[in-house]
Amino acid sequence: MTIPRLAAALLILPLLALPAAARAASCCGGGGGSGPSVPKGYLGVLDLGLDLERYDGYWDAAGQHLRDPAGSRLLQVRLNAAGGWRFARDWQATLLVPLVHNDTRYSGISSTSTSVGDAALTVLYDVYDERSIWKVLSAADLLPSVKLGAGLTVPTGLSMYDDVDLSFDVTGRGFYRLDATALVDKTWRGLSASLSAGYGVHLGRPVNRLYGAPAAPTRKRLGDRVTLGLAVGYRQFLGSAGDALTLTGALAWLHEGATVQDGERLPDTTVNKPSVSTTLLWSSTDHDWSARLAWAHTLQREGWGTSFPTTDILSLGVKYAIR
């Protein structure tokens, strides 16, 4: 391990106290997630995923969890097309573009909408690769893999500042966001654990209309976003063929600071969202193909969240790695 790489690894450790990006709800737009990772030794990956997100109440600004009105149904469906390219030994870039469909029935209002969501571009650098996942012969074999990344969310979706009539119809948030991310991952035989962290800064923009109607000109910026994720998993090989199943459980936390308008912090706009998830992943013997089934649940305990919907997300996906 070279001195520059060791220094970079040590510099990211304070970032691990920060949280990692979570999905935006349909009321706040879709997309803006991260793309798939390209394994070492591969040229790139193609990934297609489907998210079905069902809404089940929300937290108010005081942290009280409230139910949606009786008879409500809020569903967002996202078809996520993504690709990744390893353009150098330790560098990779990924692009994710979602197609978002909203289907809403809420307090006597029925609405459907379909549009592209916010796109996300990510660049990752492999700071250090773990040496062995099968045996420990020296202290260096205990070191985890470390990745650093930078991301850009592009507001390609429809936001409340575009020509939409209802908040239920938006598919994006309307702001560019720059993210710095870090991922520490360690595998030993069938066991794995990872810790991810991120810090995002939204760029301000002028606003002069709201839900298609003219509004007083102002300058607005969403709050800085902090994310943290912790995951543990176990991989089991199937027979002698080499196919494998991996089961992973994860915790995630999202915090977004108050929205700033014309230099003033807007009240009741700070977001906090804790969630848990589990993923079942199948990978082929040569690791070229993989398929996944995942479920994510927003924790609804009183006082744990603020100013955000609580949802359940069922995800399906398939990935092909290109040699």
Place of tokens 């014309």: 262
pTM given for the model:
0.88
Which contiguous run of DSSP H or E holds residue 196?
A: strand 191-202
58-107 pLDDT, tens digit each: 999 999 999 999 989 999 999 999 999 999 999 999 999 999 999 999 98
Question: For the chain, how big is the Rg over CA atoms in Å?
Answer: 20
- What CATH number should be reported for the domain holding residue 296? 2.40.128.130
The number of C-alpha atoms within 13 Å of 259 and in the hemisphere containing its C-beta is 15
273-292 pLDDT, tens digit each: 999 999 999 999 888 999 99
119-130 pLDDT, tens digit each: 999 999 999 998
Q: Which two tokens stand for residue 318?
A: 């398939």
Q: Which two tokens stand for residue 39?
A: 């394994």
Number of structural domains the chain divides into: 1
Which contiguous run of DSSP H or E holds residue 11?
A: helix 3-12
DSSP code at position 95: E
- pLDDT > 90: what percent of the chain? 77
Q: Is the per-residue pLDDT at 139 higher than 90?
A: no
| Residue 158, domain extent | 3-322
